[in-house]
């Protein structure tokens, strides 16, 4: 199962106005800060990470993790609508999918008697590795 959480918010502001608001501390946590540029730092409470993609004012992608937890990827998409802006958040753990799928793959390889990764990759569940990219 792909672990992902999706939430939406619709506000009357334009994507540009929402984007500016993202950089302000507060909404992400009291002492939070987020630099809206690639490799920018993300800090919010126990979470810390970095920005992967900053496409002003449409899309912000960052990675973060809390304490010793596994990192998750957060995608914020700002879409202009008739009413203003739809803010869509998706938080997922792609690395976990990779490790789980990797385990499946290892099992398949084992069953196949080591006949090679390419031959076995799609055997069990329909070539899931493609989904990661």
* Cα–Cα distance for residue pair 68/132, rounded to 1 Å: 23
Contact, 67 vs 80, CB < 8 A? no
One character per residue 95-114, x = contact with another protein (rule: CB under 8 A): -----x--------------
**Contact pick of 12, 38, 102, 127 for another protein (by CB under 8 A):** 12
**Comparison of 10 and 119: residue with beta carbon closer to another protein:** 10
What single DSSP character describes residue 26?
A: B
Other C-beta atoms within 10 Å of 52: how many? 16
- Give the residue among 14, 34, 31, 12 at the shortest CA–CA distance from 23: 34
Q: Is 17 in the site for another protein (CB under 8 A)?
A: yes
**Which pair of structure tokens corresponds to residue 127?**
């070539």
First to last CA, the chain: 16
Q: Least distance to another protein from the beta carbon of 114, Å?
A: 25
**Comparison of 46 and 55: residue with beta carbon closer to another protein:** 46
Q: Is 13 in the site for another protein (CB under 8 A)?
A: yes
Q: Return residues touching another protein (CB under 8 A).
A: 1, 3-5, 7-9, 11-13, 17-18, 21-22, 24, 26-29, 72, 87, 89, 91, 93, 100
């Amino acid at each position: 199962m792909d672990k992902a959480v999706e939430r939406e918010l619709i506000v009357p502001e334009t994507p540009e106005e929402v984007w500016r608001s993202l950089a302000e501390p507060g909404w992400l946590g009291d002492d939070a800060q987020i630099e809206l540029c690639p490799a920018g730092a993300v800090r919010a409470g126990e979470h810390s990470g970095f920005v992967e993609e900053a496409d002003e004012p449409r899309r912000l992608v960052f990675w973060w993790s809390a304490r010793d937890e596994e990192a998750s990827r957060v995608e914020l998409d700002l879409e202009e609508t008739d009413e203003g802006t739809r803010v869509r958040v998706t938080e997922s753990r792609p690395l976990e999918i990779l490790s789980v799928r990797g385990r499946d793959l290892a099992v398949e390889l084992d069953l196949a008697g080591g006949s090679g990764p390419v031959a076995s990759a799609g055997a069990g569940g329909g070539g899931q590795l493609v989904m990661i990219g």
